Amino acid sequence: MSPTTRNLDCFCGKRAVTRTTWTKENPGRRFNACLHFGRGGCRLFEWEDPPMCHRAKAIIPGLLRKINKLEGETKKLESEVQKLEDKVSQLQP
Ligand SMILES: [Zn+2]
């Protein structure tokens, strides 16, 4: 997800942005930080969302793994379909 601008200025005087982290401790939790957070930006950091409950932390990483696996399988199948369609079009007179 791309960062969105927040009505909050960071210590650089720039507009802070809201991002989503996907760490094991905070999967899917949003925070507000400097536009250059992690790349030499200022120290502004505040959570947008409340702390995550234990159940969400336990479930979300597994769901993300399943989604990634299914997306990978979908890409493989789409590639197979394309190959078969190419073969069919070569067989047609
Ligand atoms: Zn900043």
Same domain for 71 and 59: yes
| Residue 33: CB atoms within 10 Å | 24
Tell me the pLDDT of the chain averaged across its residues: 91
Same domain for 88 and 62: yes
> What integer is the mean pLDDT of 76-89?
97
Q: Give the list of residues 6+ apart from residue 87 with CB closer than 8 angstroms, or none.
A: none
24/36 Cα distance (integer angstroms): 22
Structurally, the chain folds into a number of domains equal to 2
CA 85 to ligand 1 center in whole angstroms: 51
84/52 Cα distance (integer angstroms): 46
Same domain for 27 and 42: yes
Q: Which residues span the domain enclosing 47?
A: 1-52
Same domain for 48 and 59: no
Please state the φ and ψ torsions of residue 65, each to the nearest 5 degrees. Answer: -60, -45
Q: Which of 3-7, 58-62, 73-77 has the lowest mean pLDDT?
A: 3-7
17 confidence band (pLDDT: 50, 70, 90): very high
Same domain for 21 and 2: yes
CA 52 to ligand 1 center in whole angstroms: 26
pLDDT at 46 exceeding the cut of 90: yes
Same domain for 35 and 60: no
